[in-house]
Amino acid sequence: MSAYKSRTGLPLAEYDALLEAQGGGCAICGNAPKTRRLHVDHDHKTGKVRGLLCHRCNRALPNWVDVVWLYAAREYLWRTTEDGYRT
């Protein structure tokens, strides 16, 4: 077993295939990895790999899991930002 697989549970070839399927970047923001590999995101209940995330999105994701909160935050930004925060 490679050192990479033992750390992430995902063989390097599968990582590479998933990264290619995601267009070469983070599954959320699309940014390509710069100095290190993307994080292997997985469902903690099932262990199923969901995708590859950059450090920033991986750290922020636990704050977004409450979808009601996420939509409320989005609506707040749209209401309170001069340009509507829509990009």
SS3 call for 8: helix
Q: pLDDT of 4-22, one tens digit each?
A: 554 567 899 999 999 999 9
Instruction: Choose among 34, 70, 15: nearest CA to 5.
Output: 15
The whole-number pLDDT of residue 24 equals: 96
Q: pLDDT of 31-87, one tens digit each?
A: 998 888 899 998 888 889 999 999 988 988 877 777 888 888 888 888 888 766 555
Q: Token digits for 59?
A: 């750290």
The whole-number pLDDT of residue 39 equals: 93
Burial class (CB within 10 angstroms; exposed 0-12, middle 13-18, buried 19+) of 67: exposed
Cβ atoms 51, 22 nearer than 8 A: yes
Q: Token digits for 53?
A: 């995330």
Q: Is the pLDDT of residue 3 over 50?
A: no
pTM of the model: 0.71
Domains and CATH numbers, the chain: 3-80 (3.40.1800.10)
